[in-house]
């Protein structure tokens, strides 16, 4: 074992991992974090805490992670390279680990263009591949990115994202291979709706043996309404929502669409369980965290292993 | 070349409002090529400013000069005979030119009439696009001759990110995804394997992050 991470322990036990996420509030109220995290207790092995997602200012991922950790749950620290240079990233990693946070996700982050401070400067001192290298070096070599020794290195289980649906498709396995080479331990994918395309990507991943080196958690986001399906299809960059999904959501009355969305999510999980290389699920119920327990239960992912 | 764009008239007028006699200085280099501050643009701006003054019942005296190179002290010297009469200088050169005038003629206020944009190239008639950020440590040899620092919105060194869609950047369908271009070019060159090499974290010291930069050529410097 490289770390004390529950995600790593569940993977090691050979069982499917389940993670979910919780977006911190646009304010300083810690109870909002507690409310969202409490809903997930007992249903997931780790809770991603987003880092100024969609480039909107929110309570910091690190502080929300600490709140969740204090509740006896297992937060996953998301860290984007958009807002921090390597000094700030490393000091936050040390701080996180000092609070017992041992799992993190290295991301580049949505461009500031999308957020509420499009006039801000972006940092991008590192990209996600280089951030993975940095965290791995901190953990395995006990050295800062700059080369000096760390007194008590942070032992982080290192995650990253992969979007099998972005272009060019032919590069998507190769880009994952770069993250693997950099030292990533687990991957959470972009929300999957186009199952065939995901399976093609997974086959490419397995053909190169990458699934033996990195745990792939398939990203699942239940649709609430047909409007959301259309929005994700047309407006979210790098998202692939097939027409069938939009049609299926639109084919039921409005009051039943949420249930249809959950049903689709559960069916997707059932199908993906059979796909070689899928090591678990990352369920992102955007501002709909209360539905995660139901999805986990209906998908037969309970009880969560005690490790 | 260095590309630039003329500032809005209101802003220029606000700068020169206290003055009635200005020296309007163009540059015959980059800003001429990108049609922002050459002889022609000097003439146009001069006429527009005088007109704006006239509308307010004022008179603006403009002396127009276009120097060979405003970033070169040798040419800046040519203003010496004109500078006394002017109350202020309005420069249509890039930021380098404006600063050279300010350095040489310390008692005269100097205002920029253009916004310096980037180091770029002409894409087609009337379109100039950014190509180089002057990072001081060129990596074009690794990326098929396409710069991810200047042309990827996230300066990603190991792209493309998850927002690349149909060859375009997530920030706008009008922006090419630099990593898509890099990949296409590597394929054309038969260098696909190169893609899998990780580009390590960049040393930003040779760039603007290391403080103001200076080149000293011992063989040439006096």
CATH number for the domain spanning B104: value is 3.40.50.2300
B97 shares its domain with B41:
yes
Q: Given pLDDT bands bounded at 50, 70 and 90, which one contains residue A113?
A: very high
Indicate if the pLDDT at residue A4 is higher than 90.
Answer: yes
pLDDT in tens, A279-290: 999 999 988 999
Q: How far apart are CA A169 and CA A201, in angstroms?
A: 8
Indicate if the pLDDT at residue A71 is higher than 90.
Answer: yes
Name the H helices within A13-81.
30-39, 61-70
In a domain, B204, yes or no: no
Q: Do A163 and B196 touch (CB under 8 A)?
A: no
The number of distinct structural domains making up chain B is 2
Q: Do B163 and A110 touch (CB under 8 A)?
A: yes
Of A167, A178, A190, the CB nearest to B158: A178
pLDDT in tens, A126-170: 999 999 999 999 999 999 999 999 999 999 999 999 999 999 999
pLDDT of residue B136: 97
Q: Given pLDDT bands bounded at 50, 70 and 90, which one contains residue A255?
A: very high
Strands B172-176 and B168-169: antiparallel
pLDDT of residue B14: 98
- Whether B198 and chain A come into contact, CB under 8 Å, resolves to yes
* Residue A129 near residue A176 (C-beta atoms within 8 A): no
B188 shares its domain with B103:
no
Q: Do A166 and B160 touch (CB under 8 A)?
A: yes
B87 shares its domain with B32:
yes
B17 shares its domain with B71:
yes
Mean pLDDT of B30-34: 97
Indicate if the pLDDT at residue A235 is higher than 90.
Answer: no
* Residue A282 near residue A21 (C-beta atoms within 8 A): yes
B10 shares its domain with B114:
yes
Minimum CA–CA partner of A115 in chain B = B171
B86 shares its domain with B145:
no
Longest dimension (CA), chain B: 69
* Residue B185 near residue B144 (C-beta atoms within 8 A): yes
pLDDT of residue A259: 97
Name the H helices within A126-194.
128-136, 172-182
B99 shares its domain with B42:
yes
pLDDT of residue A303: 97
- Residue B220, phi then psi, degrees to nearest 5: -115, -30
Indicate if the pLDDT at residue A237 is higher than 90.
Answer: no
ipTM: 0.94
pLDDT more than 90, % of chain A: 98
Name the H helices within B56-94.
73-76
In a domain, B124, yes or no: no
Of B171, B172, B183, the CB nearest to A171: B183
- For chain B, report the end-to-end CA distance as a whole number of angstroms: 28
Q: Name the average pLDDT for chain A.
A: 97
Read off the pTM.
0.96
pLDDT of residue A238: 83
Indicate if the pLDDT at residue B30 is higher than 90.
Answer: yes
Q: Given pLDDT bands bounded at 50, 70 and 90, which one contains residue A293?
A: very high
- Whether B166 and chain A come into contact, CB under 8 Å, resolves to yes
* Residue B122 near residue B2 (C-beta atoms within 8 A): no
Indicate if the pLDDT at residue B147 is higher than 90.
Answer: yes
pLDDT of residue A36: 97
Of A114, A130, A238, the CB nearest to B158: A130
In a domain, B176, yes or no: yes
Q: Given pLDDT bands bounded at 50, 70 and 90, which one contains residue B103?
A: very high
Domain ranges of chain A: 6-298
Indicate if the pLDDT at residue B222 is higher than 90.
Answer: no
Of A86, A161, A167, the CB nearest to B180: A167
Mean pLDDT of B64-88: 97
- Whether B170 and chain A come into contact, CB under 8 Å, resolves to yes
Q: How far apart are CA B150 and CA B146, in angstroms?
A: 9
Q: Do B156 and A134 touch (CB under 8 A)?
A: no
Of B157, B160, B201, the CB nearest to A171: B160
Lowest-pLDDT range of A155-159, B48-52, B208-212:
B208-212
Q: Which of B160, B161, B165 to mutate to test the interface with A (most CBs of A within 10 A)?
A: B161
Nearest to B109 by CA among B11, B30, B21: B21
Of A113, A134, A174, the CB nearest to B201: A134
Q: Do A130 and B200 touch (CB under 8 A)?
A: yes
- Cα separations in angstroms, A28 against A32, A40, A64, A80, B30: 9, 21, 10, 20, 50
- For chain A, report the end-to-end CA distance as a whole number of angstroms: 13
Q: Do A113 and B153 touch (CB under 8 A)?
A: yes
Which residues in chain B are contacts of A168 at CB distance < 8 A? 160, 164, 167, 180, 183
Q: Name the average pLDDT for chain B.
A: 97
Strands B88-91 and A215-220: unpaired
Indicate if the pLDDT at residue A200 is higher than 90.
Answer: yes
Q: How far apart are CA B23 and CA B84, in angstroms?
A: 10
Indicate if the pLDDT at residue A252 is higher than 90.
Answer: yes
In a domain, B213, yes or no: no
Q: Which of B159, B162, B208 to mutate to test the interface with A (most CBs of A within 10 A)?
A: B162
Q: How far apart are CA A165 and CA A191, in angstroms?
A: 9
Q: Which CATH class is domain A6-298?
A: alpha beta
Q: Do A110 and B180 touch (CB under 8 A)?
A: no
Indicate if the pLDDT at residue A187 is higher than 90.
Answer: yes
Indicate if the pLDDT at residue B49 is higher than 90.
Answer: yes
Nearest to A51 by CA among A109, A135, A114, A121: A109
Q: Which residue range(s) make up the domain with B27?
A: 2-118
A205-226 burial string, b = 16+ CB within 10 Å, else e? bbeeebbeebbbbbbbbbbbeb
Q: Do A113 and B171 touch (CB under 8 A)?
A: yes
pLDDT of residue A49: 98
Measured in angstroms, the CA of B134 and the nearest CA of chain A are apart by: 16
- Whether B65 and chain A come into contact, CB under 8 Å, resolves to no
B102 shares its domain with B166:
no
Q: Do B166 and A171 touch (CB under 8 A)?
A: no
- CB count in 10 Å sphere of residue B1: 17
pLDDT of residue A236: 86
Is residue A83 helix, strand or coil? Answer: coil
Per-residue DSSP letter, B94: -
Q: Do B201 and A126 touch (CB under 8 A)?
A: yes
Q: Whose structure tokens read 């190179």?
A: B69
Which residues in chain B are contacts of A171 at CB distance < 8 A? 160, 183, 195
B103 shares its domain with B167:
no
Indicate if the pLDDT at residue A100 is higher than 90.
Answer: yes
- Residue A219, phi then psi, degrees to nearest 5: -85, 125
Q: Given pLDDT bands bounded at 50, 70 and 90, which one contains residue B98?
A: very high
- Cα separations in angstroms, A139 against A65, A102, A134, A143, A157: 20, 11, 9, 8, 9
């Amino acid at each position: 074992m490289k770390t004390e991470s529950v995600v790593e322990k569940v993977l090691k036990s050979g069982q499917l991992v389940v993670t979910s996420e919780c977006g911190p509030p646009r304010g300083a109220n810690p109870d909002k974090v507690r409310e969202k995290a409490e809903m997930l207790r007992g249903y997931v092995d780790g809770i991603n805490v987003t880092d100024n997602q969609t480039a909107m200012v929110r309570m910091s991922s690190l502080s929300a992670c600490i709140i969740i950790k204090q509740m006896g749950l297992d937060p996953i620290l998301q860290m984007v390279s958009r807002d921090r240079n390597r000094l700030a990233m490393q000091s936050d990693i040390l701080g996180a680990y000092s609070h017992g946070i041992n799992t993190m996700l290295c991301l580049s982050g949505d461009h500031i263009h999308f957020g509420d401070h499009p006039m801000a400067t972006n940092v991008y001192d590192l990209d996600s591949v280089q951030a993975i290298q940095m965290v791995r070096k901190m953990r395995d070599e006990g050295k800062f990115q700059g080369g000096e020794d760390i007194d008590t290195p942070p032992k982080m289980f290192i995650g990253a994202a992969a979007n099998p649906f972005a272009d060019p498709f032919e590069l998507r396995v190769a880009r994952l291979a770069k993250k693997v080479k950099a030292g990533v331990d687990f991957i959470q994918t972009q929300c999957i709706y186009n199952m065939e395309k995901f399976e093609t990507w997974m086959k490419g991943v397995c053909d190169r043996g990458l699934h033996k080196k990195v745990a792939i958690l398939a990203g699942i986001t239940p649709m609430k309404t047909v409007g959301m399906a259309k929005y994700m299809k047309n407006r979210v960059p790098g998202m692939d929502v097939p027409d069938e999904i939009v049609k299926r959501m639109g084919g039921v009355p409005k009051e039943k669409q949420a249930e249809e969305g959950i049903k689709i999510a559960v069916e997707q999980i059932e199908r993906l369980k059979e796909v070689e290389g899928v090591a678990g699920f990352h369920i992102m119920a955007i501002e709909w965290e209360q539905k995660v327990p139901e999805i986990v239960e209906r998908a037969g992912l309970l009880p969560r292993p005690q490790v | 070349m260095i590309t630039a764009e003329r500032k809005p008239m209101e802003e220029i007028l606000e700068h020169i409002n206290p003055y009635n006699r200005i020296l309007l200085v163009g540059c015959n280099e980059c800003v001429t090529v990108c049609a922002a501050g050459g002889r022609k643009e000097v003439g146009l701006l001069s006429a527009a400013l005088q007109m704006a003054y006239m509308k307010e019942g004022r008179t603006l005296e403009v002396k127009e000069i276009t120097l060979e190179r405003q970033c070169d002290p040798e040419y800046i010297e040519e203003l010496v005979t004109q500078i006394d009469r002017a109350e202020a200088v309005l420069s249509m050169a890039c930021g380098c030119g404006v600063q050279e005038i300010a350095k040489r003629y310390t008692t005269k206020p100097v205002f920029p009439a253009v916004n310096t944009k980037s180091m770029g190239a002409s894409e087609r008639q009337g379109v100039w696009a950014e190509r180089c950020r002057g990072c001081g440590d060129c990596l074009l040899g690794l990326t098929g001759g396409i710069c991810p620092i200047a042309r990827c919105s996230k300066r990603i060194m190991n792209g493309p990110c998850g927002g690349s869609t149909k060859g375009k950047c997530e920030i706008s369908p009008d922006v090419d995804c630099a990593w898509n271009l890099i990949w296409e070019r590597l394929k054309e060159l038969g260098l696909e394997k190169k893609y899998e090499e990780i580009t390590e974290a960049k040393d930003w010291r040779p760039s603007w992050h290391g403080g103001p930069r200076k080149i000293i050529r011992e063989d040439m410097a006096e």
